[in-house]
Amino acid sequence: MKLAFVPARFGPGVLGGAEDVTAEAASGFAERGFDVEVITTCAVDHYTWANELPEGMHVEKGLPVRRFPTVRMSSRAAAAAWSSIQSGKIPDLERQVSWISSQFSAPGLFEYLLRHGQGYDAIVFSPYMLWTTSVCVPFVADRAVVIPCLHDEIYARFEVLSPVLAEPALIWFLSEPEHLLAHRLGPVSPNHEVTGCGVPVPEGYDPSGFRSRHRLERPFALYAGRREEGKGLNALLDHFFAATLARGLDLDLVLIGKGALSVPERISRGVVDLGYISGEERDNAFAAASVYVQPSPNESFSRTVMEAWLAGTPVVAYAGSTVVSWHCERSGGGLTYSDAAGFYACIRSVLTDPAEAARRAGAGRQYVLDNYTWPVVLDRMETSLRSAL
């Protein structure tokens, strides 16, 4: 089968769960003998969508990659849509359309799929809310496969985005709660599967080297991910303040990832921001941490939780994320909290009972190995692909 994968961004320096699963699935299918091509934009940064990479055809990570430049256009309708979103209101359909195009568009990519889309047996899009998926899927719906990476957020209720779930030939959901959310929101393509997401298993870790390289002498909790609204980082900083300064918990907080960050002065001495680091060093960070914290309510899978468990690190997560709570309950590998007091209790439990923390981390690791390695997930994806198309 000839497959095209259409992430909005692809390549070195790209950070994002949807982008990771798309890139790794593309490589996995290529290794299984599929004829795979990546069709994407020239952008790296999802804040600016600037064209940082050369357009045209290239070979990257062993895959043929076809890049198209992005265009950004603002409008009064888009500005009005953003105003509605920020106030928690769903904008009307016309403004929804303007909002999607105001993030970025890639006219050349759209034209290419319109002209050449029938030359692929399947075209895989992700995530659901970006222009490359929402605009292009309806025109190749008979061979479109969507990995929505769906969150319970205001965008998921936009009328303009409903065809992304209703019309494709196949949908791959990353978790059962994401699947159930899609059905609550509206029509879902009859061909859909909960495939999960593959997570690479590192050959080894260097926790002591990580601590030494970054001069980390105290035990620390780790947060890995984007610094943006909806990921729960501000609440985590508040809870960390309450746990360490107000209650005397002896712990630092290490942050890795991309995006602007403002740390309150009162806790700045206990927060270490390492910014963006390499994939190998990220793995080492997970292994070096005393605990991994996942404060985000908006997750469709939560790859970082799986990476922490693989590294043998216990997880403490926000109970408001139905997906992460589902993983913690199924695996027996994590503790969940709802407020600052609960956060303190979970962290204290991990630090004062290392044997139980290790048991939970071990259960989490086995859960990932049983359900979410790439060979296991690719088997599910390939079976559903051949059945649906």
Write the DSSP symbol of residue 225: S
Residue 330 Cα distances to 87, 106, 191, angstroms = 36, 41, 25
3-state secondary structure of 294: strand
Identity of residue 118: Q
The arrangement of secondary structure in 2-70+105-198+373-388, i.e. its CATH architecture, is 3-Layer(aba) Sandwich (3.40)
Confidence band, pLDDT 50/70/90 cuts, at residue 248: confident
pLDDT tens profile 335-357? 999 999 999 999 999 999 999 99
Residue range(s) of every CATH 3.40.50.2000 domain in the chain: 2-70+105-198+373-388, 207-371
Distance of CA 136 to the CA centre of its chain: 21
**pLDDT confidence bin for 184, thresholds 50/70/90:** very high
Token pair, residue 23, equals 């890139």
User: Residue 268, Cα to own-chain centre: how many angstroms?
Assistant: 27
Mean pLDDT for the stretch of residues 172-199? 97
Best CATH choice for the domain 207-371 from the list 3.40.50.2000, 3.40.50.720, 3.40.50.300, 3.90.226.10: 3.40.50.2000
Grade residue 32 by pLDDT with cuts at 50, 70 and 90. very high
Instruction: Give residue-wise pLDDT tens across range 75-91.
Output: 899 999 999 998 999 99
Q: How many CA atoms lie within 13 A of 173 on its CB side?
A: 20
Question: Which range has highest mean pLDDT (36-45, 84-93, 265-274)?
Answer: 36-45
